[in-house]
Amino acid sequence: MNNMNNQTNFQKILYFFLTKIILGVVTVAALVAMVEIGGRFLLDKTSAAEDLKNIIIAITESVVALTAYVILFKTYEKREISELSLSTFGSNATTGFFTGLILQTLLIAVIYFLGGYVIEQVNPVSFLLPGFTTALTAGFVAEIVLRGIIFRLTEEKLGTVIALFIMAILFALMHMNVAGATILSVVSTAVQAGILISAAYVFTRSLWFTIFLHFAWDFAEPAIFGAINPGNNIGSSLVVANITGSEIVTGGQFGPQNSTQALIIYIITALLFLWLARRKNNFIQPYWKNKYSKTT
């Protein structure tokens, strides 16, 4: 009897959502770190160009993060990983990419029409490569961890609404102590990274969509438009632009993604995603409501 109770308690702990989050994050992060360290060590012994080394590492890290997630949770949760279904890859990846690209274009367009964005030079297409490489890793690895593990498992247990608030608070706390942080930059990041992309996942139930939205976002701002992106510091871009004006429009040291127009666009887009998700009945109720409904 004691052995059975111990086994039951162990299973409860093992399958508790926080345990799954910790194991998932640690597994993916550890494997990606191993690729980064081991890959760099091996590639630095070759005569390959630095850009080539970076793209090899970025692709490998993305593949490893995806593979680790699929194998871990297919085994752990004994289910098909529908959020990474290959049958929906094309449509969700394409739509996600253009969603991220359009959103970034809108932010820049506001600055341009206010006279604060002037193109000074257009570089060869090869100047996009460093930004592409950095954004690829950010899109794949970050979304596997943030949406695939943290948000998905929290939502399954606590429900969609609470999970969205938790993600917003998490990002606010992560960025409020950054040097030079303002209320606008913290709130913008919390809404964009915490709510908007999570809302996109709730609507589509596809990690392909959020991965490529995130990828396009981190790629377009610095690599195409030559603007500041706090998470993607690169030395080259397709367009060299002179961006001037009030910080509430340009985003200052945190770039256009932390501007007033960005916050407004984030809120509108997030609400649209959530409205569409509600129409599709994609909202998840907290476990205690489901438990109550089963007993009534």
Output the pLDDT for position 12: 82
Helix runs in the chain, H state only: 2-14, 17-43, 50-76, 89-113, 129-137, 143, 152-158, 160-175, 183-189, 197-204, 207-219, 247-250, 260-279, 287-294
Output the pLDDT for position 1: 53
Question: Is 294 within a domain?
Answer: no
Domain count, the chain: 1
Question: Is 295 within a domain?
Answer: no
Q: What are the beta bridge partners of residue 242?
A: 118
- Mean pLDDT of the region 39-54: 90
Question: Is 293 within a domain?
Answer: no
- The whole-angstrom separation of Cα 32 and Cα 35 is 5
Question: Is 191 within a domain?
Answer: yes
Given a cut of 90, whether residue 293 has pLDDT beyond it is: no
Question: Is 247 within a domain?
Answer: yes
Question: Is 51 within a domain?
Answer: yes
pTM for the model stands at: 0.93
Question: Is 63 within a domain?
Answer: yes
- Computed over every residue of the chain, the mean pLDDT equals 91
- The whole-angstrom separation of Cα 55 and Cα 44 is 13
Question: Is 292 within a domain?
Answer: no
Query: What is the C-alpha radius of gyration for the chain, rounded to an integer number of angstroms?
Result: 21
Q: Which domain holds residue 80?
A: 2-286
